[in-house]
Chain A
Amino acid sequence: MTPGVFEYHRPNKVEDVLALLAEFGDDGKVLAGGHSLVPMMKLRLAEPAHIIDINAIASLRGIREEEGMIVIGAATTQAEIMGSDLLNEKCRILPDAAALIADPQVRNCGTIGGNCANGDPGNDDPAIMLALNASYTLQNQAGQRQIAAREFYEAVYTTALAEDELLTEIHVPAPAKGTGMSYQKIKRKVGDYAIAAAAVTLSMSAGQCTDAAVALTNVGDTALLSLEAAEAIKGSAVDARAIDRAADAAMADCEPVEDMRGTVEYRTAMVGEMTRRAIAEALSRVAGS
């Protein structure tokens, strides 16, 4: 298994990436971690004429907090996400999820931007971004725009990212105190995509859930935000009945297909179970509860 012929570009600045994207259009592919793209190229299912390697661009890496927003460079690796003190303190769902993605070597290469932007419904970060209500900074030569993750995903491998655009940053609203979060993923083995997974954030005040979000991985054409599941626990004490209602709602919202991971029935049931577990863990992590 070897890739086809291409020309390799390794720009040092975002502007140069944007110029190359503008020039090559469909013939150019951005190489970040490469662990989705390179296997496709080796299978000759992807044959870009130009590879634009963004790994030399320091400004695309790193995690910082500014004005109530956690800003993550798109080329930040999953290993860096796992090791980030800031995230482990303020938004642990991201490092928790990163530990469930692929394996140590792949996490050293794989980036959060690639995971969010390539449109594979098996990727774990999109559901988390939906739950966190994150937004993506997309740049092209004309300028930049900010798009909510909740508006980004369209279909399998189809997103709002235009051919000439680069995802440069991910903006995550810093979770308020009293927010608990959890990502629960069932998979066959290390390195596998989810049979089903659920990302949950919830906030509690005086024993009542004041805000919640539930999103699902690999059980539809894109990551799915289950508004109904969130509604089921909002305003409740997040008791067993509310959790069951949320699980039922998530199951109703998901659209898995049968594959090697299981039947539609099984994967739907796992959506319910992962939702239950994620809500329970998120609740247990609400500070002071």
Chain B
Amino acid sequence: MSDAPELTLEEREATIGGIGTARKRKEDARFIRGKGNYVDDIKLPGMLHGDFVRSSHAHALIKSIDTEEALKVDGVLAVITAKDLEPLSLHWMPTLAGDMAAVLADKKVHFQNQEVAFVVAADRYAAADGVQRVDVEYEELPPLIDPKRALDDDAPVIRDDVAENDEVGQGSRHHPNHIFEWKVGDKEATDAAFETADIRIREEIAYPRCHPSPLETCGCVASMDAVNGKLTVYGTFQAPHVVRTVVSLITGLAESNIRIVSPDIGGGFGNKVGAYPGYVCAAAASIVTGHPVKWIESRIDNLSTTAFARDYHMTGELAADKDGKILAVRANVIADHGAFNTHAQPMKWPAGLFNIVTGSYNIPVGHVEVNGVFTNKAPGGVAYRCSFRVTEAAYLIERLVDILAQKTGIDKAEIRLRNFVQPEQFPYSSCLGWEYDSGDYPTALQTAMQAVDYAGLRKEQAEKRDKGELMGIGISTFTEIVGAGPVRNCDIVGLGMFDSCEIRVHPTGSVIARLGTKSQGQGHETTFAQIIATELGIPSDDITIEEGDTDTAPYGLGTYGSRSTPVAGAATARAARKIKDKAKKIAAHVLEASEDDLEWEVDRFRVAGSDISMKMKDIAMAAYSNVPDGLEHGLETTDYYNPPNFTYPFGAYICVVDIDRFTGDVKVRRFYALDDCGTRINPMVIDGQIHGGLAEAYGIAMGQEISYDETGNVLGASLMDYFLPTSVETPEWETDFTVTPCPHHPIGAKGIGESPNVGGVPAFTNAIVDAFAHHGVTHMPMPHTQAKVWQTLNELGLNK
């Protein structure tokens, strides 16, 4: 059983294409040929199309819905309203946050573009014709748009259905528009620290409402097989198994009679975690009509109804001594959740993991209070390319540290170095309750400073300031908390947030592995194969990864919050190790050696100190033909992994901007991003993730906002106004890395996809504010549109 000619160890490693290889993506073969299979590509026999009649008002009673004219339209088969769904108990649905959300508006509308009726027709043209002809009569009510007014005594009551309830799923509440109050930390000690501190800073910092806006909108095809009673739903689901369970809970169908399939997904970024009325209506329509029913969102529907993010109105405070050493942090947040509490967080965490607001800093005490409120806006509060509310927290602390630097006159890099959690402090218990797993923050920042010649940049800035030119240097040294998560902390509708991998090694040595996660562009078909390749010594090209079909994949909680690698990636490594353990027994049996004498060598077990070995490929065949007594045939296993802790990726970003003092135009001259995501599975994919996340961060910082006028009209919900940067606006990115492995993850990986969004946004703001720091400016509101930057220029008279 030996090769001829024998390859060297290095050559064998290279053949495998395992962890650390910049392997080209396996999924690209279909994508570059235009052969991806997205939900709108699915066409089933007899398929109908559904489209929504939407509310023109933000807050109004529905007096009547007249469907008569619509039903006369050629091709229109049905118009479904809340009344039609009520007998099926489908007119309201439970949310992931313990609230109820209207599927179709029931007696009143709560936000503009809310779903009022669902028109089912032969094709999308006829459906739109029908939508146009449904006549809805409204009686307008005063809208509540400003979340800071939500808890006023005279605020309009938005949710009559729960007005009298003591709670709406996340603890006690004290006003009809109040959703929850969430407090963490030691208030008394924090107050005391603030009272005696030499230096106190305080800033109101809003993170505006924005939207993930993946290029593919949400949609589904629901198909009820009336004969066998099985409902199949193809859709844009980042978490297909959760959808299956929720559908079962909503409809009462047995979970075994529900199949959820996520085909290729055109980007998610948090938009495709939740359950939307379109999914329910398509399923209901399929049940009612006996035909498959497709629903695909328009971009306007997408931006104005499904899954906004942020809308956090934060007040942050730091207490410090004269040397800039932070003594305490305090944060108070009004969280605008819109009309229904449909935010997507682990259920015990109404403000997500916002208490990571201590960031990368060793802060002795802190206190956080978050109050969630209803407003007449679209519901949501998803994590837009970040772990739950982590980007809001990172933005707050990174801004506050900059403000503290300005207040104390200490350089913005220096103040970070003075306050970092030190490498020897890990595992580090933060004052707000997290245990940071590993990190080396000083090395990251110092490496970044050297790479960009930080001292040189500051010198150039001083010279420019003398000439009246505006140049800003922004630093962000963020820490994330990702990989939700430990089941003791994290559940969704009661389901622990473990994840899973099933591996089957075929007799001839190739592999299929299935996971509970779902790639939306992250490249799972490539990277998860690399983990298995390294663990089993089987070439990654011989490993097929499948996700997204609940009939075949093991149960998992899906892909969001950078959890795929930390959780499902760990399950993958552990499943592979279980297989390897069995393989070792088989090898020992075939080689007639003791297991103790076998050692692993890239792709085979070798009898120590001999030239006798058995390759994994041959062991695979033996698993189906020649196993020792007492061992089952086959070579397959499943692992469900409950992570012992979150992972804590971190990074140091430096951004340099030049500002046109006459127009407010911000030019990003340079952006350097150093990331530490622990063990790096595929450097090419990691770089791609960072480029993309930074581009999103740039969009958020510079222009993305879903805003409303005072009557609740949603403004700018199309791609004319909503800022998705093109190749022309988007800056060039420089990437770099350090590697601090995660101590509790089987392969030491931490997750990368969201770091650039979390860390990028404050880097942009910090750079822009820094350009004005010598004029005493400490904060500027996002997004930093030309108009808003000009406002600052104008107030300071710098544009003359």
Question: Which positions in A face B, CB cutoff 8 Å?
Answer: 1-2, 4-5, 44, 103, 186, 188-193, 195, 260-263, 265-266, 269-270, 273
In the complex, chain A residues whose CB is within 8 Å of the CB of B716: 260
In the complex, chain B residues whose CB is within 8 Å of the CB of A189: 703, 723, 725-726, 728-729
Instruction: Using A1-B128, A4-B129, A273-B662 as known contacts, say yes or no to A191 and B785 having CB atoms under 8 A apart.
Output: no
Comparing B356-364, B395-403, B787-795, the segment that makes contact with chain A is B787-795
**How far apart sit A287 and B124, CA to CA, in the bound complex (Å)?**
57
Smallest CB separation, A45 vs chain B (Å): 11
In the complex, chain A residues whose CB is within 8 Å of the CB of B298: 1
**How far apart sit A188 and B720, CA to CA, in the bound complex (Å)?**
10
CB under 8 Å from chain A, chain B span 697-755: 703, 707, 715-716, 720-721, 723, 725-726, 728-729
Can you list 10 A-B pairs, Cβ within 8 angstroms, ordered by A? A189-B703, A189-B723, A189-B725, A189-B726, A189-B728, A190-B728, A192-B720, A195-B787, A260-B715, A270-B663
**How far apart sit A103 and B720, CA to CA, in the bound complex (Å)?**
12
In the complex, chain B residues whose CB is within 8 Å of the CB of A260: 707, 715-716, 721
**How far apart sit A119 and B715, CA to CA, in the bound complex (Å)?**
23
Instruction: Tell me, yes or no, whether B132 is within 8 Å of chain A by CB.
Output: yes
In the complex, chain B residues whose CB is within 8 Å of the CB of A188: 703, 723, 785-786
1/0 per residue, CB under 8 A from A, across B775-791: the answer is: 00000000001110011
Smallest CB separation, B464 vs chain A (Å): 20
In the complex, chain A residues whose CB is within 8 Å of the CB of B665: 186
Smallest CB separation, B85 vs chain A (Å): 25
In the complex, chain A residues whose CB is within 8 Å of the CB of B664: 266
Question: Which positions in B face A, CB cutoff 8 Å?
Answer: 124-125, 128-129, 132, 298, 300, 662-665, 703, 707, 715-716, 720-721, 723, 725-726, 728-729, 785-787, 790-791, 794, 799
In the complex, chain A residues whose CB is within 8 Å of the CB of B720: 191-193
Q: Which among A5, A189, A269 has the highest number of chain B CB atoms within 10 Å?
A: A189
Instruction: Using A44-B132, A260-B715, A260-B721 as known contacts, say yes or no to A266 and B787 having CB atoms under 8 A apart.
Output: yes
Closest to B699 in A: A189
Smallest CB separation, B300 vs chain A (Å): 8
Closest to A5 in B: B129
* A261 x B723 contact (CB < 8 A): no
In the complex, chain B residues whose CB is within 8 Å of the CB of A269: 790, 794, 799
**How far apart sit A188 and B789, CA to CA, in the bound complex (Å)?**
13
* B790 x A190 contact (CB < 8 A): no
Closest to B74 in A: A5
In the complex, chain B residues whose CB is within 8 Å of the CB of A263: 787, 791
Q: Which among A188, A192, A193, A261 has the highest number of chain B CB atoms within 10 Å?
A: A188
Smallest CB separation, A203 vs chain B (Å): 26
**What does DSSP make chain B's interface, helix, strand, loop or mixed?**
loop
* A262 x B726 contact (CB < 8 A): no
Q: Which among A5, A263, A265, A266 has the highest number of chain B CB atoms within 10 Å?
A: A266
Other A-B pairs beyond A189-B726, A262-B787, 18, CB < 8 Å: A5-B129, A44-B132, A186-B665, A189-B723, A189-B728, A189-B729, A190-B726, A190-B728, A190-B729, A191-B720, A191-B726, A260-B707, A260-B721, A262-B786, A266-B791, A266-B794, A269-B799, A273-B662
Closest to B298 in A: A1
**How far apart sit A261 and B785, CA to CA, in the bound complex (Å)?**
8
In the complex, chain B residues whose CB is within 8 Å of the CB of A103: 726
**How far apart sit A266 and B663, CA to CA, in the bound complex (Å)?**
9
In the complex, chain A residues whose CB is within 8 Å of the CB of B132: 4, 44
Closest to B799 in A: A269
* A2 x B726 contact (CB < 8 A): no
**How far apart sit A189 and B729, CA to CA, in the bound complex (Å)?**
7
**How far apart sit A113 and B10, CA to CA, in the bound complex (Å)?**
66
Smallest CB separation, B766 vs chain A (Å): 22
In the complex, chain B residues whose CB is within 8 Å of the CB of A195: 786-787
**How far apart sit A273 and B575, CA to CA, in the bound complex (Å)?**
64
Closest to A187 in B: B786
Smallest CB separation, A116 vs chain B (Å): 21
Closest to A103 in B: B726
In the complex, chain B residues whose CB is within 8 Å of the CB of A273: 662-663
**How far apart sit A254 and B239, CA to CA, in the bound complex (Å)?**
52
Instruction: Using A191-B720, A191-B726, A273-B663 as known contacts, say yes or no to A2 and B786 having CB atoms under 8 A apart.
Output: no
* A2 x B124 contact (CB < 8 A): yes
* A2 x B662 contact (CB < 8 A): no
In the complex, chain A residues whose CB is within 8 Å of the CB of B662: 273
In the complex, chain B residues whose CB is within 8 Å of the CB of A4: 129, 132
Q: Which among B664, B787, B799 has the highest number of chain A CB atoms within 10 Å?
A: B787
**How far apart sit A192 and B724, CA to CA, in the bound complex (Å)?**
12
**How far apart sit A4 and B73, CA to CA, in the bound complex (Å)?**
12
Question: Which 3 pairs between the two chains have the least Cβ-Cβ distance?
Answer: A262-B787, A190-B726, A2-B125
Smallest CB separation, B218 vs chain A (Å): 15
Q: Which among B662, B716, B791, B794 has the highest number of chain A CB atoms within 10 Å?
A: B662
**How far apart sit A186 and B715, CA to CA, in the bound complex (Å)?**
21
**How far apart sit A265 and B799, CA to CA, in the bound complex (Å)?**
13
Which of A44, A190, A192, A270 interacts with B128 by CB under 8 Å? A44
**How far apart sit A266 and B794, CA to CA, in the bound complex (Å)?**
9
Smallest CB separation, A230 vs chain B (Å): 22
Instruction: Using A2-B125, A186-B665, A273-B662 as known contacts, say yes or no to A262 and B785 having CB atoms under 8 A apart.
Output: yes
Smallest CB separation, A194 vs chain B (Å): 12
In the complex, chain A residues whose CB is within 8 Å of the CB of B729: 189-190
* B663 x A265 contact (CB < 8 A): no
Smallest CB separation, B87 vs chain A (Å): 31
Closest to A196 in B: B663
Which of B703, B707, B794 interacts with A265 by CB under 8 Å? B794
Closest to B790 in A: A266
Smallest CB separation, A36 vs chain B (Å): 12
Smallest CB separation, B367 vs chain A (Å): 37
**How far apart sit A191 and B786, CA to CA, in the bound complex (Å)?**
16
In the complex, chain A residues whose CB is within 8 Å of the CB of B799: 269
In the complex, chain B residues whose CB is within 8 Å of the CB of A191: 720, 726
In the complex, chain A residues whose CB is within 8 Å of the CB of B125: 2
**How far apart sit A222 and B703, CA to CA, in the bound complex (Å)?**
27
In the complex, chain A residues whose CB is within 8 Å of the CB of B790: 262, 266, 269
**How far apart sit A260 and B786, CA to CA, in the bound complex (Å)?**
11
**How far apart sit A190 and B729, CA to CA, in the bound complex (Å)?**
8
**How far apart sit A186 and B298, CA to CA, in the bound complex (Å)?**
29
**How far apart sit A265 and B787, CA to CA, in the bound complex (Å)?**
9
**How far apart sit A189 and B662, CA to CA, in the bound complex (Å)?**
18
Smallest CB separation, A60 vs chain B (Å): 28
**How far apart sit A266 and B298, CA to CA, in the bound complex (Å)?**
32
Smallest CB separation, B281 vs chain A (Å): 18
Smallest CB separation, A268 vs chain B (Å): 11
Closest to B727 in A: A190
In the complex, chain B residues whose CB is within 8 Å of the CB of A190: 726, 728-729
Instruction: Using A191-B726, A270-B663 as known contacts, say yes or no to A261 and B703 having CB atoms under 8 A apart.
Output: no
* B785 x A2 contact (CB < 8 A): no
**How far apart sit A44 and B300, CA to CA, in the bound complex (Å)?**
14
**How far apart sit A263 and B787, CA to CA, in the bound complex (Å)?**
7
**How far apart sit A186 and B723, CA to CA, in the bound complex (Å)?**
15
**How far apart sit A263 and B725, CA to CA, in the bound complex (Å)?**
22
Closest to B126 in A: A2
* B663 x A186 contact (CB < 8 A): yes
Smallest CB separation, A4 vs chain B (Å): 7
**How far apart sit A186 and B665, CA to CA, in the bound complex (Å)?**
9
Closest to B715 in A: A260
Smallest CB separation, B69 vs chain A (Å): 14
**How far apart sit A190 and B727, CA to CA, in the bound complex (Å)?**
9
In the complex, chain B residues whose CB is within 8 Å of the CB of A270: 663
**How far apart sit A260 and B716, CA to CA, in the bound complex (Å)?**
7
Smallest CB separation, A88 vs chain B (Å): 21
* B128 x A261 contact (CB < 8 A): no
Smallest CB separation, B135 vs chain A (Å): 15
In the complex, chain A residues whose CB is within 8 Å of the CB of B124: 2
Smallest CB separation, B485 vs chain A (Å): 37
Smallest CB separation, A273 vs chain B (Å): 5
**How far apart sit A49 and B728, CA to CA, in the bound complex (Å)?**
39
**How far apart sit A195 and B794, CA to CA, in the bound complex (Å)?**
17
